[in-house]
Amino acid sequence: MKKNEATFSIPITRRDFMKLAAVSAATLAMGENNLPKANAALPSAVDFSAAKIPLLFETDVCVVGGGAAGTAAAVSAAKNGAKTLLIERSIVLGGLATLGCVYPCMPTFIDGSDTPYITELNQRMEQRQGARARNDVVTDFFYGGGQGLYASEFLTLVYEELCSEAGVDILYETTLVGAVVEQGKIKECIVQTVEGLGKIRAKTFIDATGDALLSRLAGVRTEKGSEQTGRNQPMSLRFEMAGVDVNKVCDFFTDTLKDQRMEPPLLKRLKEDVAASRAPFMEFAKIKENEAFFKQGVKEGKLTEDDILYIQGFSVTGKPDTMAMNCPEMPPLLFSATDAASRSKAILFGRRMMHRIAGFLVSDVPGFEKAYISRESGMLGTRETWRIRGKYYLTAEDYWEGHHFPDAVCRTAYPIDIHDVKLNFGKKLQKGEYYEIPYRALVSEEISNLIVAGRCISGSFAAQASFRIQPTCMSMGEAAGIAAAWGLLHGKAANDVHWEEIPQDKRSYVSKG
């Protein structure tokens, strides 16, 4: 184990400690062999190689998953000359940013991280939303690249425009169910559509499922959860509330509860933006200054202890009377992101939490008096599930040492943000410091024509807690698309492409070493 990965502690309440004690006792009773296993690929339950399944598409590049990473990968591959198909199980692109109500994109905390795809996306979003996708408040409160503020309805449309202009074929309502592998290559992936089973044949595949599903079906080694506890990061079930007086909410948290995270000049600009209905950015959360207020809600029976473990809300660009709730967050001791039955129970549990939180805001927070739930997330907010074991394995040490790589596809300084456990270091990288993600972390030894992009690339639980954010996933997807097209053009297997050998003007990111 590398030096910085052995220093995790678990901040936990007495109530949660009792839950954990019960889980631990049950685990010990069952025996050590029942602990979660790492490096376990999911074998195909059905051998599809000889099945008579109709061929739906034959293409150069097939991207599985139309989220932040997958959309970027598809657009990038098509722009670089590859015939590209993007398959998505829902009816919108964007994944968590659209279906999951994840707002805003978190910042990378390092300048120069925006790759060309992100720059173009931000420009288009500014035009579509009728407001700035970024503003001075966000730039000063955070810093670095990637801090786009995206209203999901506009983002979905912009994603489809990017795909259309690049020539990407999109196949909606299409769920991956299997893979046909021959001699270390994926020949076809098997999908379920409204027509029934079908197969898609491609020369190169990009796994942007977020759960490494295509990789697991193809036999790539994977890990899941924390190496220390076996648990995944907690899931959330986000929602939006409309009819909110954002200025009044801002006054309550900053003036009444004395939440002073924003300095007066930033606060002044924020209120000016809100008043002018231009890119308002206001955040509230359960932090030290506000904790007694939310605990009072528990005492009065309006909230539960689980409800207030994590509470956060953001105003929404282009929606001046709306706030997006970055909660509720379901307790990781109760639910697993890699267990189908547990995920379903988490949804039921989370929806009840959602309505309690909304009711409390309406009754107790000035500015929410006339508010109502205007939108529920269409998918679970999943931070982490499976991760591949690739040619390079990112660790916390890569973050803390600020490692750079000749084959780097992007940079980030986003902290190791673990909602279940926390590092003892108590600090982030210093401003100006960053680490890079090498192309080798996107490919495996087992499958030559597979590239992985997004939160499920090769890395430890701690490393994944840093590289999982949307802008970093976008940049990884962009690089995956470029590499896929480049490999096909030059007769190189995807896992044998050397990113640093691609001409600089063809790369989306060039390491400074």
The verdict on 455 and 333 lying in the same domain is: no
Grade residue 8 by pLDDT with cuts at 50, 70 and 90: very low
At residue 136, the pLDDT reads: 46
Provide the token pair at 399.
């973050």
Has residue 453 got a pLDDT over 70? yes
Domain count, the chain: 2
Alpha-carbon radius of gyration of the chain: 22
Q: What percent of the chain has pLDDT over 90?
A: 70
What pLDDT does residue 257 have? 87
Q: What is the pLDDT of residue 356?
A: 98
| One domain, residues 349 and 408 | no
Residue 260 has pLDDT above 90, yes or no: no
Check residue 266 and give its pLDDT.
58
Residue 18 scores a pLDDT above 80: no
The pLDDT-based confidence of 254 (bands split at 50, 70, 90) is confident
pLDDT confidence band for 267 (50 / 70 / 90): low
Within-domain flag for 41: no
Task: Say whether pLDDT at 161 is over 80.
Answer: yes
Asked if the structure places residue 368 within a domain, the reply is yes
Sequence-separated (6 or more) residues with CB below 8 Å from residue 450: 186, 204, 205, 206, 207, 214, 215, 218, 220, 443, 444, 494, 495
pLDDT of 21 > 70? The answer is: no
Tokens standing for 72?
Answer: 């970027």
User: What per-residue confidence (pLDDT) applies to 397?
Assistant: 95
Do both 61 and 188 map to the same domain? Answer: yes
Q: Would you place residue 148 in the very low, low, confident or very high pLDDT band (cuts 50, 70, 90)?
A: confident
Please report which helix (H) or strand (E) contains residue 24, including its range: helix 14-30
Give the model's confidence band at 37: pLDDT under 50 very low, under 70 low, under 90 confident, else very high. Answer: very low
Please name the helix (run of DSSP H) or strand (run of DSSP E) that holds residue 299, with its range, or none.
helix 291-299
Query: Is the Cβ–Cβ distance between 148 and 122 less than 8 Å?
Result: yes
**Number of Cα atoms under 13 Å in the Cβ half of residue 223:** 21
pLDDT at 6 over 70: no
Is the residue at 23 inside a domain? Answer: no
Could you give the angle at which helices 68-79 and 116-129 cross, rounded to 10 degrees? 110
Which range, of 27-31, 98-102, 172-176, 476-480, averages the lowest pLDDT?
27-31
Q: Please report whether residue 15 resides in a domain.
A: no
**243, 185: one domain:** no
Mean of the per-residue pLDDT values for the chain? 86
Helices and strands in the chain: count of H runs, count of E runs: 13, 18
Q: Is the dihedral of CA 318, 259, 143, 395 positive or negative?
A: negative
3-state secondary structure 342-367: HHHHHHHHHHHHHHHHHHHHHHHCCC
Say whether both 219 and 269 belong to one domain: no
Range list of H helices, 65-210: 68-79, 116-129, 136-141, 152-166
Q: Which of 308, 343, 376 is the last residue of a domain?
A: 376
Average pLDDT over residues 337-347: 97
Asked if 106 and 250 sit in the same domain, the reply is no
323 with 282, same domain: the answer is: yes
Out of 315, 347, 376, pick the residue that ends a domain: 376
| Averaged pLDDT, 117-127 | 92
Task: For tokens 């007495």, name the residue.
Answer: 14
Query: Containing domain of residue 128, as a range?
Result: 55-225+385-506
Range from 256-265, 411-420, 439-448 that averages highest in pLDDT? 439-448
356 with 447, same domain?
Answer: no
Percent of the chain with pLDDT over 70: 83
In a domain, 6, yes or no: no
Confidence at residue 285, expressed as pLDDT on a 0 to 100 scale? 86
Does some domain include residue 34?
no
Please identify, among 336, 358, 376, the residue that sits at the C-terminal boundary of a domain. 376
Same domain, 201 and 309: no
Rounded CA gap, 212 and 489, in Å? 26
Q: Which two tokens stand for residue 345?
A: 């129970």
Give the residue from 106, 134, 135 showing the smallest Cα distance to 413: 106
Residue 329 vs residues 227, 252, 288, 320, 384: alpha-carbon distances, Å: 22, 24, 18, 25, 14
Same domain, 77 and 106: yes
511 within domain boundaries: no
pLDDT band (50, 70, 90) for residue 5: very low
